[in-house]
Amino acid sequence: MKFFSTLLLLTLVGTCATPKYTAKIQNIKDSITIVDTTAVKHYSQTITSNELSVLLYKFASKEFQGRKVGEQGQKLAAEFLQSYYIEQGIASPFGSDNYFQGISSSYLSKSIGASENVLAYIEGSEKPEEVLVLSAHLDHLGIKDGKIYYGADDDGSGTVAIMEIAEAFKVAAENGHPPKRSILFTHFTAEEVGQIGSKFYVENPIFPLENTIVNLNIDMIGRVDERHNENKNYIYLIGSDRISKELHYISEAVRDTYVDIDLDYTYNALTDRNQYYSRSDHYKFAKRDIPVIFYFNGEHDDYHQHTDTPDKIDYELLEKRTRLIFATAWQLVNQEKRLVSDENNPILD
């Protein structure tokens, strides 16, 4: 098996790394201009380990009973998110004080009941019709055998990262730096039962999918896996080069500019047996040919256990990873040209 995959890899490299292809990739890299570096550095400071920790101890507390889709704890979690956005003065895309995209029990299943995605929105100042979707799932596994499954990493970490990123963009907008393109802060429900919240969203998008420029999806970014015991300064990126090479190189240029962290592509390998690419909400966007990046820390002993608790989160690391995603989102909504998929990229013709 190992021999086979090595051979396959060599074959792929052989076909891609022609001088002409290498030149095209270089042209993509050269076409990238990182924008607003002073502003990005400034506003990323509003994302702090302390605030992430306060939010996560609340979101992954007993009060929300493991946030099982359709149950009371999940409803309370959705209401908590809605209250947060109202408090922050961040609008609903529905233009009222309702931030819920309702999903009926007939869509989900009778045994689950009805549920809701939670959506907040900052409108772009120059190209409001072009939208970046930033996402994390709000649901988890609930209570089993009397034990609460807190889901602090899965996906409390992604949830609070989005809350802090939304606050950073809001503060920037208030200080005269609104995003040029729009941002949809998206908390999907029903991920744990088969990515049903994101499936519902792409079938019933609030903004047309053809104007959805990218989906950055965060699912578990607060912990360290066994492979990185020696060096925890990493984050796995999955999918960044599959639909848009430009996205991949923008993401790397942003990292080079702002954040000293390793981007680990181990799980992006097409042959990876875990197939994480298809295992969180971004996949529903990828299937519609929308470029995606999935941010992930890998699995650990507490993955899908009742022991995934907020005291085990590395908040400094969560801050660093959140700032990286904020800076990436900033670039994508503020760079002059809209991100292109490889299919529409003249450089790759």
Minimal distance, residue 182 CB to Zn ion, in Å? 25
> What Å distances lie between residue 47 and 22, 66, 217, CA to CA?
37, 25, 18
Q: How far apart are CA 125 and CA 148, in angstroms?
A: 43
Q: Which lies closer to Zn ion via its Cβ, residue 118 or residue 339?
A: 118
| Dist CA 223 CA 227 (whole Å) | 12
- 3-state SS assignment for residue 233: coil
> Computed over its alpha carbons, how large is the radius of gyration of the chain?
20
Q: What is the number of other CB atoms lying within 10 angstroms of the CB of residue 20?
A: 8
C-beta of 41 vs 304, nearer to Zn ion: 304
Strand partners, 314: none
Supply 111's token pair. 């045994």
Query: Quick count: other Cβ atoms within 10 Å of Cβ 279?
Result: 16
Output 152 or 254, the one with its CB closest to Zn ion: 152
Nearest distance, CB of residue 139 and Zn ion, angstroms: 9
Query: How far apart are CB 333 and Zn ion at their closest, in Å?
Result: 25
CB of 240 to Zn ion, least distance (A): 19
Nearest by Cα to 153 from 320, 323, 304, 319: 304
Q: Give CA–CA dist 58/81, Å, rounded.
A: 11
* CB nearer to Zn ion: pick between 180 and 279: 279
Query: Whole-number minimum distance, CB 302 to Zn ion, in Å?
Result: 13
Task: Please say which residue, 71 or 219, places its beta carbon nearer to Zn ion.
Answer: 219
Give whichever of 178 and 222 is closer to Zn ion, judged by the CB atom.
222
**By three-state DSSP, how is residue 270 classified?**
coil
- Write down the least CB distance from residue 75 to Zn ion, Å: 19
Residue 203's contacts (CB-CB under 8 Å, 6 or more residues apart) are none
Q: Using CB under 5 A as the criterion, which residues of the chain lie in contact with Zn ion when the complex forms?
A: 154-155, 219
